[in-house]
Amino acid sequence: MKLALLYLEPLPGQADDEDARTQANWIRRHLEPAGAAVRDFVWPAALGWEGVRAELAAFGPDVVFNLVEGWPGDDRQQAAIPGLLELSGWAYTGSDLPAIAATTDKNTAKALLRAAGLPTPDWFLYRGEVGQHPALPVICKPAWQDASLGIDDDSVIRDPARLAGELHRRWLAGGKQTWLVETFVEGREFNVALRELEDGTVEVLPPAELVFGDWPEDKPKILTYRAKWEPGCFEDEHTLRRFVEEPALVQSLTRLARECWRVFSLNGYARVDFRQDAGGVLQIIEVNTNPCLSPDAGFMAAVEHAELSPAGVLQTIIQAAVRRKETSTC
């Protein structure tokens, strides 16, 4: 099998960008010994899609492993990648254009969750002025970006006098991009990985909890950019992962994660993030298509905890891509 690993050229010194190369190396390490001919296709910002497509066509991949998170100059166009791969006739891993479009736009994702009767915190969009908003505290995050970009301790706003100024500061600093402002759920945080099996059914992997160990009382218990991308910092060393053992909680997380897969018609693999309030009510925070596959990230941690073979899981992701292409051409 010829496997193309497609990702954007990382920006120098940008840890969240460099992670795409880490994922590519991890995939190659597990699939080349199984006989796959694996080649990286690094998409420079200066090269348009036609140039990338020509390079891929010369290689003639059986499957494109889609590791692209964004679009050169405009992350909102990320959903176009699977559409372009599909138009070019290649099988590609992960979710398709509609699913990625719906989940990367946090406002659309939350609206679809609400329409399906699934729990998600109240929210509004900030585009330069504060209108009607949920009761404080709230957390603000870029409406189109993931990987904890733009999330720090000041993202949680508790003081009404600080709300308008903090949102306006972020709006200007981010080039007047839209911000999602939602009710901050004080309590436990979980993530649940899912994968599509050989027969097309969906397996929910063991749910994990993020534990904020020895956290100062005045510090928000959230997964910040520093926690994810700055090894050795306080947030990194004190944000721990453990797997959920309470049967009732596992059952609830599993049911809601499956519902998210169904509502968004996900493919291949995914991860759903939750918070649980003091009353024990779970709220869906985010649905992640094509989540990070680095060995230390949540998806692969769940694979390891379930005692599954990483190579075997990667193979099922590829098989799901082939199966979708075969189904679409029937």
Mean pLDDT (whole number) for 165-186? 90
DSSP code at position 75: G
Residue 155 has pLDDT above 70, yes or no: yes
Of residues 185 and 10, more confidence is placed in 185
Residue 200 has which token pair? Answer: 């097309």
Q: What is the per-residue pLDDT for 136?
A: 93
pLDDT at 75 > cutoff 70: no
At 329 the pLDDT is 64
**Distance between CA atoms of residues 261 and 244, nearest Å:** 20
Alpha helices, DSSP H only, in the chain? 15-31, 49-59, 80-87, 97-104, 106-115, 160-173, 225-229, 234-238, 247-264, 298-305, 310-328
Confidence at residue 147, expressed as pLDDT on a 0 to 100 scale: 61
Is residue 317 within 8 Å of residue 93, measured between CB atoms?
yes
Average pLDDT over residues 219-230: 89
User: Has domain 2-93 been given CATH number 3.40.50.20?
Assistant: yes
- State pLDDT tens for residues 196-213: 999 999 999 999 999 998
Residues found in the chain:
330
Rounded CA Rg of the chain: 20
Helix (H) / strand (E) containing 231 = none
Tell me which amino acid residue 117 is: G
Burial 62-90 (b: 16+ CB within 10 A, else e): bbbbbbbbbbbeebbebbbbbebbbeeeb
At residue 150, the pLDDT reads 79
Give residue 197's identity as a one-letter amino acid code.
Answer: L
CATH 3.40.50.2300 at 101-119+187-308+320-328, yes or no: no
Break the chain into its structural domains and give their ranges.
Answer: 2-93, 101-119+187-308+320-328, 123-183
Domains 2-93 and 101-119+187-308+320-328 share a fold: no
At 174, the pLDDT band (50, 70, 90 cuts) reads confident
The band of 74, judged by pLDDT with boundaries at 50, 70 and 90, is low
Give me the mean pLDDT over the 3-13 stretch: 88
The rounded Cα 304 to chain-centroid distance in angstroms is 19
pLDDT in tens, 270-290: 999 999 998 999 999 999 999
List the 179-183 sheet strands across, edge first. 123-126, 179-183, 138-142, 156-157
pLDDT at 227 over 90: no
Mean pLDDT of 96-109: 95
Across the range 227-237, mean pLDDT stands at 89
Beta bridge partners of 92: 64
In this prediction, what percent of the chain has a pLDDT beyond 90?
A: 72
Report the pLDDT value the prediction gives residue 330, as an integer from 0 to 100.
52
User: What is the rounded distance in angstroms from the CA atom of residue 215 to the CA atom of residue 194?
Assistant: 30
CA–CA separation, 170 vs 36, rounded Å? 45
C-beta of residue 297 within 8 angstroms of C-beta of residue 205: no
- Between residues 275 and 10, which one has the greater pLDDT? 275
Nearest Cα to 58, choosing from 42, 43, 41? 41
Pseudo-torsion of CA 263, 301, 104, 166, nearest 10°? 120
The fraction of the chain above a pLDDT of 70, given in percent, is 98
Q: Which of 199, 191, 188 is nearest to 305 (CA)?
A: 191
